[in-house]
Structure 1
């Protein structure tokens, strides 16, 4: 590994050809953006202290979404009034008890689900465990394997292997594009990421789900990098189970509770591997024998995390009057424009996109491969362009259309060009955090 390189503070000696043209195009695109006003619903940097003096560009919403303005006041009220004054009465008078399903119904239209099929609570990992074990228990007799997306976020693989050990099945990693060819009558289910966390590649949810069903297997989807960024269509494509976090494109805050989707027609058959008192048909009977609640409530486990759950509920207000289709249109326009700006600003052969250019295969992030990605991202952040990186050499830029502007995209590419242009050769850096 080479020593940490020195990064000159300014740009190169000459303005890159096309810089003014790209900045002008960004301004025109922002002026015509129908979602531009939604940006004001978030708390974003005005003028932080960094090398350029400009406002920071936040392109890490694929790890942690920005703070919606409605959240602070709502959380303050929950603490001071609902907890501080009403106390235990808030479980009924303030609606705490029904919050997991109520907030689930707010998320449902963002992932293409009808009401009564989404419950919010626990972490993504816990919900993955519930979905995989519960799915195996619903699978047909004679099933011997679970297919797992071979490019998955590591937690999904850990959970799948643990579930397989518990249920006596084997885990078989398969590239998402090969699942339709690899599924057999022995497959209980497949656990697949809708969007690859590292590359931003969008996997074929309709096609893979159909292929699994044709073989008699269930489809379990991880929506962590797609919920709130693009249309998912869970009901339309007959997905069986799905999970997702809410702190990325849904902007629920650090550690915000995750969600579990369970198709209505499967709910009666769903047997949770974590039968907590909160999912009992009569929770306050304190019956030593477990009887699951009706409907999506059987996806609950223990006492809900009220503070974070109600912060998420407030955060979801930013979606008022916003359609997921409009978000997807802007997402593709933003990522197209960013890739074009990279082509203008970044010296040839210094970085290449590992995110597909094809709209049908792209989520809402752009991942660029370059040498010394860790130090490069550190320098970008120092100059006010906040993304993240994944070992060994991938820069990730997440585009949240609710608050990311085209000017943000142009500036990020321009600063990246300055950083890479100043460095003929760099070493490797330390890993980032988050999914």
Structure 2
């Protein structure tokens, strides 16, 4: 039986423990929602203040050159690149995940049309993040293609001769289940299809090696495990073998070969620069740039391998403690096998707990200072209490205390109180 003293001993031996001091975390809060919005790095407010007061306030328009604003999306992309197995010059931080997915899927369909015109199907999981499915659905309507939705175990069998693109999220947002990127990429390529990966729930939490896996396209957000702040810019990566083969559909001036020539005809830039569109949000990009300093510090302490090891330790500990403190009251939705698990633990109420009580349990936990979130289910999948474990700033003692609070919410039946059952706009 694991005790709080055991957890404190693990924290004392944790080489990543100093990273917690790089974040401004509220007192009395155990933050288990970094998989939705990362915590605030201490370096960010001062950086934003310098950009606003100095670069904008004093430098004015000269800061496009003097402060390097115009190159910032590519510089930030170069800082994200090592976290996803990409090389310098292969990633650009720009726009949103949805917009970048539209670019990537469109380009992938264009390349598929060049190489195998008969392939007009996009395959994705039915449980994929909804915005990914909405973008794919809209693009299929626009192109006269078909979106085929499957269950996770059907991926390999779905790669038929008419499939142009396999679009998957590396770590599922609802369950925390992680795909084998290299194996599925190889299967797709063997079947003649391209692969587009969504890394929103992977980047900064689990090791990713896009080039090593031979992937084709990838997109991701930066406001979760990268801690870039609400609405922080997303990123897009395109393999070198594809990047110059076609235009991306949103051919804006920032993706032009000579944006300040102001010619009426579009000439795409070479490389990933062409995947930019319009003017980018410099203040948000600057915040993200500052937030990424945390990963420089982490690199000196073992990098993504060390973060992944701690992530598995934290999630494994929480699973153990839930089963110790709340036996028979939750079903584990997240895969138990470490190789299949991202950096979150997802539970659905079962046994003696009322069906559909996940939201109220989540709200009762928040009232106790344990912040997680909830994802609604349907007739196929139950409601899910979703808890993220960010290894940059969470301790083993945090995990123990969170499990204790969950036990107390269940024991006291606080979740039955009306105030915890009133749905808010954001769950």
Equivalent residue, structure 1, for 2:69: 96
Deviations 1:348-404 (A, max 9, x none): 222121011101110000001014111111110111100011114211110010001
Query: Superposed, which structure 2 residues align to 1:391-430 within 5 Å?
Result: 391-392=376-377, 393-423=383-413, 426=416, 430=423
Is it true that 1:232 corresponds to 2:208 in the alignment?
Answer: yes
Contact 1:389 1:432 in 2 (8 A): no
Which stretches in structure 1 are left out of the alignment for 5+ residues? 1-17, 47-54
TM-score calculated relative to the size of structure 2 = 0.92
Equivalent residue, structure 2, for 1:67: 40
Query: Superposed, which structure 2 residues align to 1:10-21 within 5 Å?
Result: 18=1, 21=2
SS of 2:242's equivalent in the other structure is helix
Deviations 1:259-280 (A, max 9, x none): 0011112111132110001101
Aligned residue among 236, 239, 256 for 1:263 = 239
Mapped to 1, the partners of 2:425 and 2:206 lie a distance apart of: 25
Query: Superposed, which structure 2 residues align to 1:17-416 within 5 Å?
Result: 18=1, 21-46=2-27, 55-139=28-112, 140-322=116-298, 323-346=303-326, 348-370=327-349, 371=355, 372-392=357-377, 393-416=383-406
Mapped to 2, the partners of 1:80 and 1:113 lie a distance apart of: 34
Mapped to 1, the partners of 2:48 and 2:399 lie a distance apart of: 32
Range that drifts further, 310-319 or 388-397: 388-397
What's the C-alpha RMSD, in Å, of the aligned pairs? Answer: 1.5
Contact 2:360 2:415 in 1 (8 A): no
Contact 1:352 1:368 in 2 (8 A): yes
Mapped to 1, the partners of 2:425 and 2:14 lie a distance apart of: 32
Contact 2:34 2:390 in 1 (8 A): yes
Instruction: Name the CA shift for 1:123/1:201 in 2 (closer, same or farther; >3 Å).
Output: same
Range that drifts further, 141-150 or 127-136: 141-150
Deviations 1:178-197 (A, max 9, x none): 22221122111111010110
TM-score calculated relative to the size of structure 1 = 0.91
Range that drifts further, 265-274 or 224-233: 265-274
TM-aligned CA deviation for residue 425 of structure 1: 8.4
TM-aligned CA deviation for residue 149 of structure 1: 1.9
Mapped to 2, the partners of 1:143 and 1:429 lie a distance apart of: 47
Which stretches in structure 2 are left out of the alignment for 5+ residues? 350-354, 378-382
SS of 1:242's equivalent in the other structure is strand
Contact 2:364 2:415 in 1 (8 A): no
TM-aligned CA deviation for residue 168 of structure 1: 1.6
TM-aligned CA deviation for residue 432 of structure 1: 6.9
Mapped to 2, the partners of 1:147 and 1:352 lie a distance apart of: 29
Stretches of 4+ aligned residues off by more than 4 angstroms: 424-429
Deviations 1:296-349 (A, max 9, x none): 100100001100001000000001142111110000000011111112222x22
SS of 2:237's equivalent in the other structure is strand
Deviations 1:124-149 (A, max 9, x none): 11001001111100112111211112
SS of 2:260's equivalent in the other structure is helix
SS of 1:282's equivalent in the other structure is coil
Equivalent residue, structure 1, for 2:380: none
SS of 2:18's equivalent in the other structure is helix
Mapped to 2, the partners of 1:236 and 1:22 lie a distance apart of: 40
TM-aligned CA deviation for residue 422 of structure 1: 2.1
